[in-house]
Each structure stands twice: as structure tokens, then as C-alpha cells.
Amino acid sequence: MRIERDTLGEVRVPDAMLYGAQTQRAVDNYPVSGLREHPVFIHAFVILKKAAALANHETGAMPRKLAEAIANACDRIIGNSDLSFRKLVTRAKKGHTARIGDDDLRSVPYLVPPGYIASDFRDHFVVDVFQAGAGTSFNMNCNEVIANLANKALGGKVGSYKPLHPNDHINMSQSTNDAFPTATRLATLLLLRELFPALDGLIFAFDAKGEELADVIKSGRTHLQDAVPVTLGQEFHAWAAAVRRATKLLEDATDELRELGIGGTATGTGLNAPPGYRHAVVRYLSEMTKLALSSSLDLRESMQSQLPLVAVSAALRNLALELTRIANDLRLLASGPHAGLAEIALPAAQPGSSIMPGKVNPSMLECLNQICFHIISADAAVAFASQAGQLELNVMMPLMAFEILFSIAILKNFLPILTERCIRGITADRKRCEAYYTGSPALATVLNPLIGYERAAEVAKESVKSGTPIPELLRKKKMLSEEEISRIFTPAFLTGQADRE
């Protein structure tokens, strides 16, 4: 152990750790969940510290030697020096800016190491996700780790904070109050880069299955009762459309995250930040992340209000609502094999029972349901945290950051597996689907324009009572000609795919 000092006194810190006194106090004060910040959040915070060092150097507030040492330490932590201090400074002097398109979340490459930070440094970021308000504990965790790592490179001693100090240098021109929400927005954008391809893959799989099963006609169901026929293909295409729409709404919500409040410092007034700093930080962040970022029009608003995060959380909730609805539909259609609908069969993922041999459950969809339920409940936590902001600051940001990033992470981790191991392998029981629809009294609906609603209702009731298919009843009663029966009782006509003129 080593002895460090902060403004409250002495603190014992494990000698092998790069963090310092304030981080150790947080470890001692908040042993809440055992959960640590998501690696993408650590990554976002570290590149923000690098951008701040570059901006402070550019504005003349920090000597080149110290700024470069900070930037190099940050590169070591994230395990990527593709854009080194010298390269970024050279580009800035030549007037280069990031060339970013409108679709940068999908098409612009951003090279990061697996896991977002180098494995050697993961254990040095130890603050629990449930911590002091505003995220000061985690901000200082980052400041102390970067300071000690940079000082070691400059020949200094861990814990001495010379020549670089966590507050005076790593946190220069910043406050937790503008750094934490900025890092949260960056991390959310970066993690969404991984979610959108997973959603695209699910949409493609639904559409592909729709094409494959386009000719499988079946009974539609409304109110869980027989309804006019549809095809399995139409159902799968509709699910693809629903996920596509929810994805578009999520994409639209992310645009609000691109405005950053960094440079506002403690209350949004910019106190202690040099002129030009706020725009320089954002420029460097855009350069490093390939994200189209801008400085907020009102830095005070960006500190007080977390509405952009709420919008993303709500869009994630809406996506989860659609996904869980679709999962429930698939589970219902696959129910059986003898006492349910059993119109489709899901790929077997694992044995379904510890006591019933041969039982196979829709386990992949059940997992998706649980993920969606968590996302829906996480949005409620984000909503409560959002309204809890008071005056110049929302101190509930740590909860918001954790819930949003965790929701994105569990969804992006599982969707590719669901797509590959469940959706792509779905098969149809064509005979069962045909038997359901041909024997359904709902076929009488097509008779309304020909014989009227009341007579069609009588035919439907007799079909249910006698078990006789409706086309046979029509022939028996000679209510329609064979030509009319042949014309209207075809899959194409009944499912809206034929010309009805």
C-alpha cells in the first residue's frame, strides 16, 4: 500500500494501482453493485481527456510536453495510437478537419481495439456504476489513472502527481459537470455503431424468411380468433417493417446526442476554460471518432437538461416493445407440438426441461423477452433521473449513462445470435397452415360483397356447426357458381395478392 493525500486527508491506496486517493474513497464509499463502467464509457472518457489536452495546448494553456504526455497515456489506455498527438497537432495546424458524412454511424470506420480499452488497464477503473452524484468519482478515477501513467512515462513516481496533477492538468478547463454528460453522449453514439448492424441483420433475416415463406397461406388471427387468411411471408415482412421503423426512430433520436456541452465547466458559463477551447475539443473529438459533432448552442442547457439521452432511451424502449411483441408472436405460432398452433418450428437451441425428456422450448425468444423487459424498465429509470435535475446540473447522470449503455450492450450482443440461431432456421408446417385456413369460418368474409353480411354469417355458423368447409357449403347450397368459387377461394385472392377487378 502507499499513502496518498487529498483535501480530506490521508488515504491508503494499493501500490499496484494507477488510481489515487479520490478513487479509493469512492471504492470504500460505494461498494454497491460490483458493476463497473462499460468499457465504451471508459474509452469515451479517455479520448475526451486526450481531446482536452490537445485543445489546452492549442489555446496556449498547456505546454506541449505535458499535453503530449497526457495524449500518449490516453493512447496506451485505449490501445490505439492511430491518431497520435503529433499527427493531430499537425493536421490542426494545416487546417484539416474531419470529413464526416451524414451516415457516419453506419459507414465511417472508427478503429478501436476489441473491448474499447487495452486489457492491461481495465482493472484500474474501479468505481461502481452507482456512485456520487454527477459522476465526480469516475471522472477522478480517469484523471488519476492518466496522471500516474503519464508521470511514469516522464520519469515521475506513481502517487506523487508531478509534473502532472489529476485536477490541475488532466482535468484542466473541465468539470465533471460538462465532462460526464459529454462522455455519455460519445459512448452512446459509439456503442450504437455496433447495434445498428445487428438490427440490419435481423431486418434482413425477417425479409428473407418472408420471401422463403411467401406461398405458405394460413389463417390470420385477430383477438386470438380466426380471421381472413394471410401468408407466413406477409407476417415476416411485417415484422421486418416494424423493426425497420423502430430502428429509424432510434437513428433520428441519436442526432440530438451530437451536440456536446464540453467547455461549459461547472455551470455552463465556461469559467476557467480559455477562449476557443470548447470548439477545439469538439473538433478533435470529431477527428478521433469520425462522428459529426458540434458544440451546443447553449452550454447551460446541455448541463441542466439530459433530454437527448431521454430521447434515445425512449427510442430503445419503443424498439424493445416491438421486439418483444414479435417474440411473443413467434412463440405463439411455434407453440405445441401437439397442443398449440405449431404453424412454425423454431431451431432447437438446447434441451427444454430437466424433467420432461425431449421437450424443447423457445429459449432464444424467451431470452429476447427478458432483454426487452430490462430495456423497458431501464427507460423508466432514465426518465426518473432526467426529471431529477435541479437548477444548473443533473446529478443523476451516472444512472442514466449506465442504464442506456447497458441496454444497448445487451441488445447488440444478443441480436446477432438470435438472428443466426433462431430466425434464419425457422421452418413452416405447410399442411397444418393449410388445414387451419381452409377450415376457418373466417373465409365467409369474402362472401360479403356477393351475398351480403347476414347470409355470409349464416354460412359461417353452419360451417362451424357441421365442420364442413365453406366452399363445399356454397357448392351444396348452390349459392355461387363454380366459376365464382374457383375465382375467390384461391391463396392469391384471399391474401390480397391478386387483381380483384
Q: Please give the average pLDDT of every successive group of 10 residues along the chain, which has 501 residues.
A: 95 97 98 97 98 98 98 94 84 72 72 82 97 97 98 96 97 98 97 95 98 95 94 97 98 95 97 97 94 95 96 98 98 95 95 87 97 98 97 97 98 97 98 90 88 90 89 88 86 74 44
CB neighbours (10 Å) of residue 145?
27
Helix count and strand count (H, E) for the chain:
19, 8
Cell of 95: 487546417
Among candidate residues 210, 327, 275, 257, the one with its CA nearest the CA of residue 105 = 257
Residue pair 123/311 in contact by the 8 Å Cβ criterion: no
For residue 98, what pLDDT is reported? 62
pTM: 0.93
Distance CA 82, CA 217 (A): 55
Distance CA 207, CA 240 (A): 6
In the 3-class helix/strand/coil scheme, how is 241-300 assigned residue by residue? HHHHHHHHHHHHHHHHHHEECCCCCCCCCCCCCCCCHHHHHHHHHHHHHCCCCEECCCHH
For residue 13, what pLDDT is reported? 98
For residue 396, what pLDDT is reported? 97
Residue pair 21/9 in contact by the 8 Å Cβ criterion: no
Residue pair 480/474 in contact by the 8 Å Cβ criterion: yes
For residue 500, what pLDDT is reported? 46
Residue pair 423/364 in contact by the 8 Å Cβ criterion: no
Cell of 196: 445498428
Catalytic residues, by residue number, are 353
Among candidate residues 98, 92, 63, the one with its CA nearest the CA of residue 280 = 92
